[in-house]
Amino acid sequence: MQANPDQPNSMHHSEHEEGHHSIKRSSSAALSLAALGVVFGDIGTSPLYAMKECVLHHGASGALNTTFVLGALSLIFWALMLMVNMKYLLVVLRATNHGEGGILSLLSLIPRSLGERPNKEKIWLTLLAILGAGLLFGDGIITPSISVLSAVEGLDKVDASMGWTDLVVMPLTLVILVLLFFGQQFGTKRIGSIFGPVMIGWFVILAVLGVHGIRQEPDVLRALNPAWAIALFQQEPWHAFTLLGSVVLVTTGAEALYADVGHFGLKPIRIAWYALVLPSLLVNYFGQGAFTLSKIQAGELQTGSIAGFNPFFEMAPVWFRMPLVLLATAAAIIASQAMISGVFTIARQATRMGFLPRLEVIHTSRSEEGQIYLPAVNLIMLVGCVITVIWFETSDNLAHAYGMAVTATFVITSILLGFVARRLWRWKRWQVAIMMTVLLLIDGSMLLSNLLKFPSGGWFALLIGMSVAIVMNTWMQGTYYIGRKMAESAGNIHEFLAGLWSEAVPRVPGTAVFLTTSSATPFSLAAFVEHSHVLHQQVILISVQPAHVPVVSPKRQVRVEWMPDGFWKLTAQCGFMETPNIPRFLERAREHGLKWDPATTTYFARRMLVLPTGDAPMSGWRKRLFAHLNGQAVDSIRFFNLPPDRVVEFGVQIEL
């Protein structure tokens, strides 16, 4: 099954639309090295807890024997092959929007096939994508927590005589997380260059430890045969099904392959995956399986003696465990950094697509657009991580919540992908049916297995996802009703111009710029004329419209329309990966005949106070939530990069 190469979201396009990121001008080898730290940080730290969770979960009620170990390894192997290789690298990564990936980028492809007018199908798909984005926010809170916690827990295996290690695991984890989030404001440009080399060392160590473990029980390589997974289901069908909830942990971070394809391109990601990441992960998992099997056969690991079992650290020589803890902690920090940056990107995309209020975005790099810092999101994630670590205490408890977030996101991505494949790529029905059957069978089984963990932690991931989704939906719906009410109360701009001519309003030198969203008269324009009884000689009405592409080319970014009596209408399109900049739009409008002098230009903006006392068909608590979100939104001066000393703001109250 092939995507249409003429479509802008095809693989062909995603590999050639890479010029807007400076990092893409590097060689494939350099990009592959960089991808190791950003793209594969999350999935690369899964060996810290995935196999351990499989043993602890199954051993609590099922039999620990050769069939279990080989069956679990077989499930792990085929989960990586089917979910990462087949689903993401072969199919999902083709669904890019001008080279950009991620669940919101996937959503941005939908209007191309449905048209711009809302309908029930688009609304339901939008709500589904919003839930997926919310779950990714939850993933961004859980990933740093479980990764750092799992790494620090390795201290328990350094020396049996160190009885104090249990007391320092949680405080040390919290300190690392606080420092990690505190350092976000400084950016990662200086230390980002070491991410790749550190992760190379990490993956090499994974492979070396795996080989060391496999040498103890080479028979574990038989698990490459899927017959062992089938045998486990035949022997213990219920326990094998519930085991899927732990097996899915080996695929955590697969969504990052999709989300970060725009930063590195498809080819470098594939090179890094096949050349180093996949072999290292497989060898390490099989090494942990061999070590586990040797313990079972020696009678040292039984159902009643699995508490505290940690095959990743225990299979390493005692003398190497402390360096391994330090390296694992560094890898966990890198994985967390990558996930935090990913959440920042998702939040900015959501803001540009109208799902979140205006957020303050600080660029931490002058050369790379993708390196951003969102103070509000950073603070929320820090508080979330601290609460998560204190609440769950151990990585074993937290793993129950982690699997729920991952599998639910997988299912949502598969559904959206099937829609894009049918409507946008024009795949045949039988092709889409085969793909969706395979993907939903795999993803659905994993999700159903994790639903069994709902009481023991799965609720936490869904709580975060639903909370973020409710915020996004409330903002989207409230913005719609506010916009409709503003449009009804404002007069048509042409009627306003006729009134200016009939009333002979005096004109003063200079240029006035008013922000508007439609053909209606901007509130700030009407208020300024009403109170000052004058108007500038040149008036520019500028409307910034979100585009369904990550970056709009400069030639297509602005459209200028001349209007009577010194008025100009400027329509600027801004991609969901861009930051709106009004002065820059005006500069580009010069090419279309618009003349203006920055020294004599005044910008007029509106500051709106929302009162939750109107008749909009929304529940009271959602109206109050929208009013609060509106009050916390970044003002238009900072959001649109207006020069503060040349801005006049008008306040307006409106009932929702």
* Number of neighbouring beta carbons within 10 Å of residue 655: 14
Does one domain contain both 473 and 497?
no
Does one domain contain both 391 and 524?
no
SS3 annotation, 556-619:
HHEEEEEECCCEEEEEEEECCCCCCCHHHHHHHHHHHCCCCCHHHEEEEEEEEEEECCCCCCCC
DSSP per position, 231-281: HHHHHSHHHHHHHHHHHGGGGTTHHHHHHTHHHH-HHHHHHHIIIIIHHHH
pLDDT digits (tens, 9 = 90+) for 543-593: 888 887 878 888 888 999 888 888 899 999 888 778 888 999 998 888 888
φ, ψ for residue 418, nearest 5 deg: -60, -40
Could you tell me which residues come within 8 angstroms of residue 302 by beta carbon, excluding any fewer than 6 positions away? 59, 64, 296
pLDDT digits (tens, 9 = 90+) for 324-377: 999 999 999 988 888 888 888 888 888 888 899 988 888 776 655 567 788 999
pLDDT of 189 reads 60
Q: Which of 477, 498, 515 is the last residue of a domain?
A: 477
Confidence band for 59, pLDDT divided at 50, 70 and 90: confident
pLDDT digits (tens, 9 = 90+) for 291-313: 999 998 888 887 667 878 899 99
Could you tell me which residues come within 8 angstroms of residue 111 by beta carbon, excluding any fewer than 6 positions away? 122, 548
Q: Which of 437, 453, 477 is the last residue of a domain?
A: 477
Q: How far apart are CA 417 and CA 365, in angstroms?
A: 33
Task: Establish if 1 belongs to a structural domain.
Answer: no
pLDDT over 60 (residue 513): yes
Q: Which of 477, 499, 520 is the last residue of a domain?
A: 477
Dihedral of alpha carbons 432, 39, 312, 215, sign: positive
Angle at 570 between CA 589 and CA 107, to 5 degrees: 105
Does one domain contain both 456 and 500?
no
| Sequence-ordered alpha helix ranges (H) in 253-359 | 254-259, 261-264, 266-272, 278-297, 311-314, 321-352
Contact 582, 642 (CB under 8 A): yes
Nearest by Cα to 372 from 345, 338, 350, 333:
345
Contact 458, 401 (CB under 8 A): yes
Q: How many residues does the chain have?
A: 656
pLDDT of 117 reads 53
pLDDT of 41 reads 84
pLDDT of 467 reads 94
pLDDT digits (tens, 9 = 90+) for 253-263: 888 778 777 77
Percent of the chain with pLDDT over 70: 90
pLDDT of 330 reads 92
Mean per-residue pLDDT, 237-242: 92
Half-sphere exposure of 56 (CA within 13 A, CB side): 16
pLDDT of 45 reads 92
Does one domain contain both 601 and 468?
no
pLDDT of 24 reads 42
Structure-token pair, residue 194: 């070491």
Number of domains in the chain: 2
pLDDT of 369 reads 57
Confidence band for 8, pLDDT divided at 50, 70 and 90: very low
pLDDT digits (tens, 9 = 90+) for 402-417: 888 889 999 999 999 9
Could you tell me which residues come within 8 angstroms of residue 505 by beta carbon, excluding any fewer than 6 positions away? 529, 533, 534, 535
Minimum mean pLDDT range among 158-167, 189-198, 439-448, 487-496: 158-167
Does one domain contain both 87 and 53?
yes
pLDDT of 2 reads 40
Q: How far apart are CA 317 and CA 209, in angstroms?
A: 9
Does one domain contain both 82 and 104?
yes
CATH code: domain of residue 133: 1.20.1740.10
Its pTM stands at 0.84
Dihedral of alpha carbons 551, 32, 329, 286, sign: positive
Residue type, 332: A
Does one domain contain both 54 and 86?
yes
Confidence band for 175, pLDDT divided at 50, 70 and 90: very high
Tokens 């196999």 sit on residue: 51
pLDDT over 70 (residue 498): yes
pLDDT of 13 reads 39
Minimum mean pLDDT range among 31-35, 223-227, 376-380, 560-564: 31-35
Does one domain contain both 511 and 415?
no
Does one domain contain both 170 and 231?
yes
Confidence band for 17, pLDDT divided at 50, 70 and 90: very low
pLDDT of 365 reads 65
pLDDT of 380 reads 94
DSSP per position, 612-655: TTS--SS-HHHHHHHHHHHHHSPPHHHHTT--GGGEEEEEEEEE
β-bridge pairing 535-546 and 558-563: unpaired
Confidence band for 10, pLDDT divided at 50, 70 and 90: very low
Confidence band for 149, pLDDT divided at 50, 70 and 90: very high
pLDDT over 80 (residue 503): no
Does one domain contain both 287 and 354?
yes
Q: How far apart are CA 262 and CA 99, in angstroms?
A: 5
Bridge partners, residue 574, by sequence: 546
pLDDT of 188 reads 64
Distances from the Cα of 501 to the Cα of 272, 317, 494, 495, 538, angstroms: 66, 87, 11, 10, 14
Mean per-residue pLDDT, 373-393: 93
Mean per-residue pLDDT, 513-537: 83
* Number of neighbouring beta carbons within 10 Å of residue 453: 21
Minimum mean pLDDT range among 78-82, 207-211, 616-620: 616-620
Type and span of the H or E element at 150: helix 120-152
pLDDT of 163 reads 61
Domain that holds residue 134: 25-477
Mean per-residue pLDDT, 444-464: 91
Does one domain contain both 401 and 515?
no
β-bridge pairing 567-574 and 558-563: antiparallel
**Mean of all residue pLDDT scores within the chain:** 84
pLDDT of 14 reads 37
Buried b (16+ CB within 10 A) or exposed e, 552-578: beeeebbebeeeeebbbbbbbbbbbbb
Does one domain contain both 460 and 497?
no
Contact 196, 36 (CB under 8 A): yes
pLDDT of 368 reads 59
